[in-house]
Structure 1
């Protein structure tokens, strides 16, 4: 059993994947993106899983992968935006002694980074309003679970990585 160096959480567009890649590179550890792992295991995109099987089916796959990653992945682990809303995931983060980094972002910065399109199934209808609703619902959980919070707006990926490492006092 190997715990991750850190776990990245935050909404779509916060930079979890791109910042995670820089952090993993600087720390010379692997990056494990749980959304990518779910897609690889299912042989389908998350959007396809949502459409074909429903959100509950996706959340079950996500939960299993996140819990496995929290127990077994040695590097930087990036969670999908909604993973923390599952009780088992939140409990594992809280009770596992994980260093959780909340990458916070405004809707303007998130929209400019990812756009809001069909690849984000929870944001398909009225994406800006949907993102705001999701963030309003998720923010208290992100904040409660976070060891540190880093605002990513208006910063380069490298600047965000610098702040994360400084906040966690990790050599990198």
Structure 2
């Protein structure tokens, strides 16, 4: 068994909000890998980045994502950069997972999450950093995706309904 669906995409795409809604509609658990890392570490992702560095965070992330893909049975949301780790990308490809790429424009993302210190990779020149990250990540998101859904200008309910239909999932 594996997760019902794995959500990937940039910060502000709605992975957590849509993920919770999908899980509720499907009657399954919702698991956010960033939240799991924060609970295990007793610190925020931002604090881990600042205190221990990105490499340490990525190792924690790799371990948590691989565990989640093997053990979680509900809806799983990955942190935006998780797919850039080859181990994670391989686990998604080889595990035959349903992967939903939730896509969003920079304008919609900024309006949803803001670009502040809680987003460590976006602290300096957030719009340029977000664009740079998306230019690097988009091809990976697209290559892993079973379905690609635009979330900008849409309600979480609309996105969830599209995902349910596109993935052939029945609540």
TM-score (norm 2): 0.99
Consecutive unaligned residues in structure 2, runs of 5 or more: none
Runs of 4+ in structure 1 deviating by more than 4 angstroms, as ranges, are none
Deviations 1:46-95 (A, max 9, x none): 00000000000000000000000000001000000000000000000000
The number of residues matched between the two structures is 171
Aligned residue in 2 for 1:53: 52
Alignment partner of 1:8: what SS?
strand
Q: Secondary structure at the match of 1:12?
A: coil
3-state SS of 1:4 partner: coil
TM-score (norm 1): 0.99
Aligned partner of 1:28 in structure 2 is 27
In the alignment, is residue 122 of structure 1 matched against residue 121 of structure 2? yes
Q: Deviations over 1:140-159 (max 9, x none)?
A: 00000000000001000000
Q: CA RMSD in A?
A: 0.4
Does residue 131 in structure 1 map to residue 117 in structure 2? Answer: no
- How far off its partner does 1:112 sit? 0.3
Report the secondary structure of 2:6's partner residue: strand
Matches of 2:50 and 2:103, distance apart in 1: 28
Gaps of 5+ in 1: none
